[in-house]
Amino acid sequence: MRKSTIVRLVCTAAVMLLAGAAFAAEAPTKKEIDAMSLFLSNFTELGFMDTSAEAIADPENYADAVRFGVGHNYLNNRKSRIVANKKGADKNGDMSIEAKFVEESVKKYYGVDLKATASVEDGEPAYILDGKRFHFKGADQEPEKVYYARVDEVESDGKGRYEAAGVVYNVKDKNDVVADFKAVFRDAKWKGKKTYALVSLETEYR
């Protein structure tokens, strides 16, 4: 074997070892996997089992974007962002939220810029926009059951993009596993802190 060939083989092996080491360094830690599970649970707890940033960005799916934004805040930021409407001002619902918070949640979790420009009146629940606030019925936001996501497997491309697989389970009974999921998401930053933004989530019920 020629000396030049040996040198090339050694260099190739070294590159492969370095690439493998870099990939290993990018492997998510348990803490990161827990954070990924929590991130994906923001969708499953609202029943958004099959969703994507591309779909949410489509104007045809404006209603879904609003429902996600309102629902997320109702479950997770109720005390700080949801306001009870006064009697006489509750014809469109007993609760309301500033439209900017709905837009903010869609941006944070999907990476999509939503412009709250219209009410959502087709279907239930309805969200009536008065220009600045969405009005709705609080009782319509209470899910019968809440389901969380648990990431069991995840692969990273080393460039901030992840493919994960896991299960969806009843938050009150972790043994009540109802579905399997596959998700793609990416690194993002929100107010200076690391977070994730969804690319797609697909769920198959058992």
pLDDT at 18: 46
- 170, 196 Cβ separation under 8 angstroms: no
Buried b / exposed e over 52-77, threshold 16 CB at 10 Å, is: bbeebbeeebbbbbbbbbbbbbbbee
- Find the mean pLDDT for residues 79-105: 93
Note the pLDDT tens digit of each residue in 12-24: 444 444 444 444 4
pLDDT score of 6 more than 70: no
| Of 14, 144, 127, residue with least CA distance to 69 | 127
pLDDT score of 205 more than 80: yes
**Mean of pLDDT over the chain:** 89
* Percent of the chain clearing pLDDT 70 (strictly above): 87
pLDDT at 1: 57
User: Is 78 strand, coil or helix?
Assistant: helix
- Find the mean pLDDT for residues 53-71: 98
The C-alpha atoms of residue 103 and residue 126 are separated, in whole angstroms, by 17
Note the pLDDT tens digit of each residue in 128-171: 999 999 999 988 787 889 999 999 999 999 999 999 999 999 99
